[in-house]
Amino acid sequence: MQLDDERLLQRVLVTQSDEAYVKSIRVVTPGHINGTGDWKMETLVRAVIGRDRNECSVSVLTVESGLVYHTSQAELFEVDDLADQTLIFQPSMIRTD
């Protein structure tokens, strides 16, 4: 399943059942975001949404390599400054069997 919205991902995770469940999550980023100049697929380990200093909605994605991607347009954005954080995903939310 391909999703393009964090809130939709949250709904999918909350509605898992024995018949339909999430086994892994990957994030695909364009080269200007991941710094490689090429599209890249990585395993997602954490997703959070919140608000930056300008009160704009921001998504923060942490991938398996430890890199952190965010959608803030604010200069000098710091993840620690994110207000009203809502956890969307962490590994304990998926099935391991």
pLDDT digits (tens, 9 = 90+) for 50-74: 999 889 999 999 999 999 999 888 8
Q: What are the sequence ranges of the domains in the chain? A: 6-93
**Helix locations, the chain, DSSP H:** 6-14, 31-34
| 83-93 pLDDT per residue, tens | 999 999 999 98
pLDDT of residue 73: 87
What confidence category does residue 78 fall into, taking pLDDT thresholds of 50, 70 and 90?
confident
Strand partners, 60: 48, 70
Reported as type and span, the H/E element at residue 7 is: helix 6-14
**pTM for this structure?**
0.85
